[in-house]
Structure 1
Amino acid sequence: MDSVLTNKNPIIYPKRTRRYRTDQSSTDEFSSTNRIRDIKDPEHPELSLEDLNVLTEESVEVDDHKSYVRITFTPTLPHCHLPTHIGLCILVKLVQSLPARFKVDVRVAPGSHDKETTVNKQLGDKERVTAALENPELVALLNKMMQVC
């Protein structure tokens, strides 16, 4: 990964109050958001994607009956050089933590990145995702992003 920061002074948003519930029987926006809210930013590992407003509760859509989850994330800059890494990490985290019946779709928010179409195409291509996950350096980065503090 580049040692040069693209976003040297990111805007840090206030953390939302964590909500918990006792019924864990269904998958919904709430439970899916909790699964990914602590993923660390690859450029600023001391901050989560939630801290940077890359992910919000509103960016998570779940249809439990159709077994479908869509995450729409917003990079901090339109020229961010790591949106594929971020999207891949979100995808991996959800695939690992959701029941196998779910199809997970991760996308860059419309108009939020200069290479939105390219990134979305990469994240939606199973063969590209599989090939990316064969790269040990990338897998190490994704694991680091998913580590809990």
Structure 2
Amino acid sequence: MSGSGALENANPLIFQRSGARLLTATDEDEDVHDPIDDREIFDILVAMSINDPEHPLSLEELNVVEQVRVQVNDTDSTVGIEFTPTIPHCSMATLIGLSIKVKLLRSLPDRFKIDVHITPGTHASEDAVNKQLADKERVAAALENSQLLEVVNQCLSTKSL
């Protein structure tokens, strides 16, 4: 939250959740190669809710993350996520991006390179936030900060919605 205690976006638009993906027999068959795809990444982000730092809502409900903004190349082990802050001057953008990155780092095999950035043209400090999220040393330092890690973990905690 901002330093004044007031919400930056007190009345955000709320979108409908996409619902769970229907599993097929091959999805659960351990003998069938199942490449990681955009829907699986989207499910990691929304089905296992990442919550907004200011609201008791998921990033999906705020339309911060959308499946169409997830790019996966299982062969090259790359994942790209664009997220869209609810307002152009959102002071929580770096925290939201960091939460997305941490969730994916904790959920995916180590072979994946994860790129999290703001949807182009949707935030006033887009370049600065993207630079912070792309810098491995800054991300590592942020995760060594116990207070910041506690806030990230609160964003990642599953809440009943």
TM-score, normalised with respect to structure 1: 0.95
Shift >2 Å, 4+ stretches: none
Give, in angstroms, the shift of residue 71 of structure 1.
Answer: 0.3
Match of 1:15 among 8, 13, 17: 17
Matching residue's letter, 2:12? P
Matched positions, count: 148
Q: Does 1:43 align with 2:57?
A: no
Aligned residue runs from structure 1 range 63-74, under 5 A: 63-74=73-84
Q: Which residue of 2 aligns with 1:79?
A: 89
Equivalent residue, structure 1, for 2:104: 94
State the percentage of identical aligned residues.
49
Displacement of 1:61: 0.6
Superposition deviation, residue 4 in structure 1: 1.8
1:87 deviates by 0.3
Q: CA deviation at 1:112?
A: 0.3
Cα distance between partner residues in 2 of 1:137 and 1:79: 23
Alignment of 1:24-35 (within 5 A): 25-35=34-44
Equivalent residue for 1:133? 143
Q: TM-score of the superposition, structure 2-length normalised?
A: 0.88
CA spacing shift, 1:36–1:125, aligned 2, 3 Å = same
Q: Which has the larger radius of gyration?
A: 2
1:143 alignment partner in structure 2: 153
Q: Which residue of 1 aligns with 2:64?
A: 54
What amino acid maps onto 1:17 in structure 2?
G
- Structure 1 Cα separation of the partners of residues 22 and 69 of structure 2: 19
Residues of 2 paired with 1:12 and 1:73: CA distance? 16
Q: Who is 2:121 aligned against? A: 111
Deviation at 1:18, TM superposition (A): 1.8
Match of 1:120 in 2: 130
CA distance in 1, matches of 2:98, 2:19: 26
1:5 counterpart letter in structure 2: L
Query: Using the alignment, how far apart are the partners of 2:135 and 2:23 within structure 1?
Result: 34
Deviation at residue 21 of structure 1 after TM alignment: 2.1
